[in-house]
Amino acid sequence: MKFKAIAVMATATALSLGMAGSALASPLSSKPKPAPQVTGTRLQSALLPASAFGDGFTVADHKNTGRKLLSTKALIKPSSLSCRNFAMFIYIGGFGNTAGAVDGVNNPNPNFADYPNIVLAGDQAVLQFKTTRAAASFYNQAYAKYKQCSAFTETEFGLQLELTTSSLSTTTINKNKAFQLIQYADVAALPIASEYQSTAFVLSGTNVYTIDDVSGTNDPISASLLGTFIKRVQALYKHH
């Protein structure tokens, strides 16, 4: 079962406010050169293949912010969202980021005989900001919001879902600031005893990377998987 859904409303609103072109270098030599930027469609091309989550995984949904850069005006903040909306949806625009992309993946044929060692679904997303300061601000706000939302109950697909934080810890991944979150998911009427939703956030330069999965174990997201994800996206900037 996949808990998170991709939210496109914030992206559509950001697009309606107008696009921002690629940042231009200042004619003043004393100012640092702006960080390179790519579009949402380019970010989408660097996402991990579904097979990175496990054999047989398929892409269930994917979105990006298009072929132009978004305005840096922040329309929403993590603090303004309810726990449900922040934890249950993946926003690829609206946080003041210039581009974003996300893939949702599913395991169409999970072998419940291997429970709890199964992964049922997952997501990967990258948000690109114009500056490292803006990226760090969003990362810090996301951490604070997850810390605040330690337990909440919602109804999804006609089932009562309660997410409770099992652990929230800071770490480093490929020398980048990161945090790992593990939530226990108590879902009524599911055929298995329990599920966990693991989520990782990584701050790297002007980008914030996230990967999450739903599985039967409380394992954190693989640092190796996150590292590969970051390298694939960073390769887009080599020619800028």
Taking the domains of the chain in order of start, what are their residue ranges?
5-21+36-237
pLDDT of residue 14: 36
223: left (phi over 0), alpha (psi -120 to 50) or beta: alpha
When pLDDT is cut at 50, 70 and 90, the band that residue 3 belongs to is low
20 or 160, higher pLDDT: 160
Amino acid, single-letter form, for residue 143: Y
When pLDDT is cut at 50, 70 and 90, the band that residue 10 belongs to is very low
pLDDT digits (tens, 9 = 90+) for 50-95: 999 999 999 999 999 999 999 999 999 999 999 989 988 999 999 9
Helix, strand, coil in percent for the chain, rounding step 5: 25, 35, 40
Taking alpha carbons only, the member of 146, 89, 121, 141 closest to residue 197 is: 121
pLDDT of residue 102 exceeding 90, the answer is yes
Task: Write the burial class of residue 96 (CB in 10 Å: 0-12 exposed, 13-18 middle, 19+ buried).
Answer: buried
190 or 69, higher pLDDT: 69
| Domain 5-21+36-237 belongs in CATH node 3.30.70.3340 | no
pLDDT of residue 6 exceeding 80, the answer is no
Whether the CB-CB separation of 185 and 162 falls below 8 Å is answered with yes
CA 121/CA 116 separation, integer angstroms: 14
When pLDDT is cut at 50, 70 and 90, the band that residue 23 belongs to is very low
* CB-based burial, 111-141: b 16+ in 10 Å, e otherwise: eeeebeebbbbbbbbbbbbbbeebbbbbbeb
Tokens at 57, concatenated: 């995984």
pLDDT of residue 19: 30
pLDDT digits (tens, 9 = 90+) for 131-169: 999 999 999 999 999 999 999 887 766 677 889 999 999
Helix (H, G, I), strand (E, B) or coil at 63: strand
30 CB neighbour count, 10 Å cutoff: 5
